[in-house]
């Protein structure tokens, strides 16, 4: 096979989508009107798939901080922190994350993806083991590929399977990093974290929790599932992102272990990546404060999620296993049928994410919806009205 021949099948699949006149992978967002509205592919739509959980992307304090940093420090850093030095705001944000999580050590990365690559490629060595939930994010899998450690999957949210695999590792269990997520991004379900933390502690393993979708969403202070489950003291490494509840771009890790600070000198995704722009860091510092004090935002987010979830349930839609701000609508295995449903929703003013295998946990396509604290009750009712009309035309609702 020649070098480029392996892309022929992918090219043919893309051409088939074009022939249908539908391309969910080339959506053009022409204008953002607010945290919940935009002009997309020529249609004014309600955004119901953005991960903007707290609706902070247009918060005036975040924008003012970003504008000030842009004027005073420029557009970018033009290099890595190792080579070009640490901007004072990067260090300040690390201190603020450490204080927020009540942990002594914190590192900020350029993206959440890079945070996972850095941790997983560096912490476990050649004689160690990574034991990860099968439904973990692509960034976690990619970090595992970069690691010299042995990689073992356990069945999604299956505590007994995790315990069995730790038991089989015997003494190597103490050289194992267990990796799970707080809130899983496709089906919107949470990890049984209390049981997982207790099991890892029993066997002497370490635990890494990716709270990307649970930061700002779960826990009294918004610290995520570990806070909500009361097991923060049993989590060794907490990873997250700025690109969901914080409304920016970047990533972080906090830990009680000094080794996280030493990781700065060994993790290639940290050493060789340009650091985040001053504007991103400045807006994130404000957003983190708003998140910390955002009890009302979290209440509104969950109220909106419950309203939308109940509405879809009353339509007879097949939904995910738990109610959360991530609400998947399960469709069929037919890509063509699912594409048409997604396209008709977009044409009728609803933007959600179309997810197809292999990105889905099974062989079915799904529409991934995510609620925001910024959605109004009227917008949610409009979303439901449009979904009812489109789904009925495709036989996807029971009545």
The rounded radius of gyration (Å) of the Cα atoms in the chain is 21
ω before 98 within 30° of 0 (cis)?
Answer: no
Check if 398 is active-site.
no
Find out whether 182 and 226 touch, Cβ atoms under 8 Å.
Answer: yes
Q: Which of 103, 213, 343, 375 is catalytic?
A: 213
Q: Which of 110, 185, 243, 245 is catalytic?
A: 185
DSSP 224: -
DSSP 345-389: HHHTTEE-EEE-TTSSSSS--EEEEE--TT--HHHHHHHHHHHHH
Q: Which of 351, 349, 284 is nearest to 50 (CA)?
A: 351
First to last CA, the chain: 52
Check if 213 is active-site.
yes
Q: Which of 244, 309, 343, 375 is catalytic?
A: 244
Check if 244 is active-site.
yes
Polymer length of the chain: 399
308: tokens are: 């939308």
202: Cβ contacts below 8 Å, ≥ 6 apart: none
Give, in order, the Cα–Cα distances in Å from 246 to each of 211, 249, 270, 305, 355: 12, 8, 21, 18, 24
Q: Is 107 left (phi over 0), alpha (psi -120 to 50) or beta?
A: beta
| Catalytic annotation, residues | 185, 213, 244
């Amino acid at each position: 096979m020649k070098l480029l021949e392996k892309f022929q099948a992918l090219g043919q699949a893309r051409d088939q989508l074009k022939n249908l006149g539908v391309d969910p992978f080339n959506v053009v967002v022409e204008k953002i009107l607010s945290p919940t509205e935009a002009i997309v592919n020529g249609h004014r739509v309600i955004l119901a798939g953005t991960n903007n959980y707290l609706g902070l992307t247009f918060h005036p304090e975040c924008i003012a901080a970003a504008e000030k940093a842009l004027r005073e420090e420029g557009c970018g850093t033009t290099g890595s922190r190792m080579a070009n030095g640490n901007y004072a705001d990067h260090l300040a944000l690390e201190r603020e994350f450490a204080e927020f999580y009540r942990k002594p050590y914190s590192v900020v990365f350029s993206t959440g993806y890079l945070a996972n690559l850095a941790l997983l490629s560096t912490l476990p060595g050649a004689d160690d083991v990574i034991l990860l939930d099968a439904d973990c994010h692509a960034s976690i899998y990619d970090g595992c590929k970069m690691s010299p450690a042995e990689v073992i999957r356990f069945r999604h949210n299956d505590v007994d399977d995790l315990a069995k695999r730790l038991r089989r590792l015997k003494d190597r269990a103490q050289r194992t990093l267990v990796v799970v997520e707080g809130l899983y991004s496709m089906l919107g379900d949470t990890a049984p974290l209390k049981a997982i933390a207790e099991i890892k502690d029993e066997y002497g393993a370490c635990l890494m929790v990716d709270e990307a979708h649970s930061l700002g969403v779960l826990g009294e202070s918004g610290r995520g599932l570990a806070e909500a489950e009361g097991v923060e003291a049993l989590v060794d490494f907490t990873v997250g992102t700025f690109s969901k509840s914080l409304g920016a771009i970047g990533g972080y890790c906090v830990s009680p272990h000094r080794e996280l600070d030493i990781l700065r000198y060994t993790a290639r995704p940290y050493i060789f990546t340009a650091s985040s722009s001053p504007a991103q860091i400045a807006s994130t510092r404000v957003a983190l404060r708003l998140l910390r004090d955002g009890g009302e935002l979290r209440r509104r987010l969950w109220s909106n999620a419950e309203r939308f979830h109940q509405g879809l349930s009353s339509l007879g839609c097949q939904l995910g296993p738990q109610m959360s701000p991530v609400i998947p609508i399960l469709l069929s295995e037919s890509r063509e049928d699912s594409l048409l449903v997604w396209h008709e929703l977009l044409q009728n003013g609803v933007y959600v994410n179309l997810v197809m295998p292999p990105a889905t946990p099974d062989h079915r396509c799904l529409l991934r919806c995510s609620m925001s604290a910024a959605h109004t009750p009227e917008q949610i009712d409009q979303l439901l009205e449009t979904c009812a009309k489109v789904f009925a035309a495709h036989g996807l609702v029971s009545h």
